[in-house]
Amino acid sequence: MTGIPPANLALDGGDPRKSSLQAENVTADDVVGRIEHSKDRVVSFEEYMYYAAITRAEEEEANARFIAARGPRTIKNIIKGRFVKGPIEQAVSTPQTAESLSAGGTEEKGHHDGTLQTTEKTSTNNYGATEAQRHTADRALRTASWGTIFYLITTDILGPTGAPWAFAQLGYGPGVALYTVFGAMSYYSGWILWKVFCGLDSNQFPIRGYGDFFFRIFGSGARHFVNVAQALQLLLTVSVLILSNGQSISQISRGSSGDSMGICFVACMLIFMAAGFILGQIRTLQRLGWLANASVWMTVALILMCMVSVKYGPNYAAVETSFGLAPGMPIQTFAGTPPPGLATGGEGFIGSLNGLNVAVYAYGGALLFAALLAEMRHPMDFWKSLLVAEIFIYSMYIFFGIFVYSYQGQYTYNPSVQGIAVYGIQTAGNLLSLISNLIAAVLYSNIGLKVVYIEVFHELLKFPDLTTKMGKIWWAALIPVYWAIAFIIAASVPQFSYIVGLVGALFILSFTYTFPAWLAVGYWIRKEAIVEAEERFDPATNTYSYVDHGWKRWRRGFMKKPFFNSFNIFYFLGALVTCALGCYSSIESLRQAFESNIATSLSCTPPL
């Protein structure tokens, strides 16, 4: 995720915050942050599982009909299918289900043991949409195949421009080892999110965001904590984009000679910030999936530019300005950790940790997995998308990182496009980065501000809904404030690699490794604590017949799979330690950079 690609665009039909309720004229702002309980009761964990089992069975049946309707996998059908957007799924969905729901009729429901029973289904109002409408709309929008989701995951995560710099801090051996370990563990984290989604998501209670996982297992406090962390991550991500693209504008403005200072560096960041909060006035972003496709090709073009440019040598001036490493030494590469003075991320342990932070950042993307799963016709196939995407992304990181490091050695720069020595190629790469990163920054600020508005302004300070006229006015006023805060953070710490490392350690690592491990512990213990022979959920009364509560129940759940649960606890603690080490190394490197005057604060002098 180092390149921060705009995968949020890629939900093939619109704004990633959209709920299926919008098909029935219920807006996303009504749904974002919705706590799933009625006025007189709280939905239990077991009720979520009950309806999730029904939904998965419906999806299995619908997927079988879809495959049958699609016909054999001939070249003609494959090409034809690329130009069809969802009608096959809608054509094969059973009208019987929608009709019976609309009539308030009967519906088959399944227990955890797979048995079915028929119960009365009444229509209950939920933000202006009946349950029947919500069910129908949900199925209509879940049309993405596992192949499409592979492409979206790749768009979300792939950002290889920091991989060469990570290898320059770690050396070949540790670099390959860390990218391999973090790649494998990021797949495991994605597997956890997939299993929890399939176990708790349903047409009655759809999962739409990362915080929904934690609300259903740990309650509203955990959801608020995760959403606040998500908002902070997105704010810092926008800051990183302002800093990175300020550097790109500065490089472009200096011309081919590179002798002049060009536009004042603070002004370069202000230019990007101004463009961001103007575009940030867009509240809903519809039908922009094609931009995700464009971002993939932009990334491929950047990789090719960087690989072609290595024959012209490193950008010595950028490395000297940012890291204080003077030119003149022969280019060197190392199998192990580089010796003191030849690692721009710091010496010894600190340098290795800074390289580790970039490797962590590279696999960030789990934050969007809930939204991607919510778009799938058959979420049970998500593991295929994730596995193929992770293998492809891992291969790209290893190949590109080793290739550029082999040519540029200790003078490798992060991001690698700004380490290109030839002005023409460098400018073309910077322009591509500016386009894709501006779109990404607008989307991250849009999502981040909505989380802040709902969590703080709406719920705590009683500000109006974003759907109201006053809510829209507040949105227009708060977008510039949001971007101004991100600008202040970016301008205060103009050292891209270290601030990327801090964001990676504190937030990307948490959302990709720590939080899924925490989720796994809670989900599997609660799931395995269910006594299927004696416990039942009654949909007529919305009650569950527990045989016990408290410590005894948690102990039973843990002991059903003691080794698996112990591994998840170990994984959680290990991720916490890695987070602490990463934060320490980034903060220490930033402190040293300020003390040595390599990094400047709010200055016209560019940091590269």
Q: What is the pLDDT, as a whole number, of residue 527? A: 93
Residue 597 scores a pLDDT above 80 = no
Q: Nearest CA to 485 among 222, 237, 129?
A: 237
Sign of the CA dihedral running 298, 303, 306, 308: negative
Q: List the structure tokens of 91.
A: 């054509």
Query: Model confidence over 463-505: pLDDT tens digits?
Result: 888 778 888 888 888 888 888 888 888 877 656 667 777 777 7
Strand, helix or coil at 576?
helix
Q: What is the DSSP string of 218-285?
A: H-HHHHHHHHHHHHHHHHHHHHHHHHHHHHHHHHHHTTTT--S--S-HHHHHHHHHHHHHHHTT----
| Highest averaged pLDDT of the listed ranges 197-201, 203-207, 478-482 | 197-201
pLDDT > 70: percent of the chain: 74
Alpha carbons 551 and 119: distance in angstroms, whole number: 34
Residue 130 scores a pLDDT above 70 = no
Spans of all domains in the chain? 39-139
Q: Which residue has the higher pLDDT, 478 or 111?
A: 478
Q: List the structure tokens of 400.
A: 């590109």
Element (H, E) at 118: strand 116-120
Contact 540, 119 (CB under 8 A): yes
Q: Where are the alpha helices (DSSP H) in 71-218?
A: 75-81, 87-92, 95-102, 131-141, 146-157, 163-170, 172-200, 210-218
pLDDT bucket at 268, cuts 50 / 70 / 90: confident
Residue 387 scores a pLDDT above 90 = yes
Alpha carbons 10 and 291: distance in angstroms, whole number: 7
Strand, helix or coil at 531?
coil
Q: What is the pLDDT, as a whole number, of residue 21? A: 33
Half-sphere exposure of 256 (CA within 13 A, CB side): 4
**Mean pLDDT for all residues in the chain:** 76
Contact 530, 46 (CB under 8 A): yes
CA 310 → CA 170, 279, 296, 307, distances in Å? 20, 35, 22, 6
Alpha carbons 73 and 76: distance in angstroms, whole number: 8
Alpha carbons 201 and 209: distance in angstroms, whole number: 11
Q: Nearest CA to 185 among 362, 380, 398, 402?
A: 362
Least confident of 349-363, 473-487, 588-602: 588-602
Sign of the CA dihedral running 213, 217, 220, 221: negative
Please work out, in degrees rounded to the nearest 5, the angle formed at the alpha carbon of residue 130 by the alpha carbons of 124 and 133. 145
Q: Nearest CA to 376 among 89, 98, 82, 149?
A: 149
pLDDT bucket at 259, cuts 50 / 70 / 90: low
Q: What is the pLDDT, as a whole number, of residue 467? A: 76
Q: Nearest CA to 368 among 165, 149, 587?
A: 149
Alpha carbons 8 and 16: distance in angstroms, whole number: 6
Mean pLDDT of 97-107: 35
Residue 85 scores a pLDDT above 90 = no
Q: What is the pLDDT, as a whole number, of residue 97? A: 38
Contact 493, 603 (CB under 8 A): no
Query: Model confidence over 419-460: pLDDT tens digits?
Result: 888 888 888 888 888 887 777 777 678 777 877 887 778 777
Contact 231, 224 (CB under 8 A): no
Q: What is the pLDDT, as a whole number, of residue 134? A: 56
Residue 37 scores a pLDDT above 70 = no
| Highest averaged pLDDT of the listed ranges 59-73, 83-97, 114-128 | 59-73
| Highest averaged pLDDT of the listed ranges 61-75, 78-92, 293-307, 584-598 | 293-307
pLDDT bucket at 76, cuts 50 / 70 / 90: low
Q: What is the pLDDT, as a whole number, of residue 101? A: 33
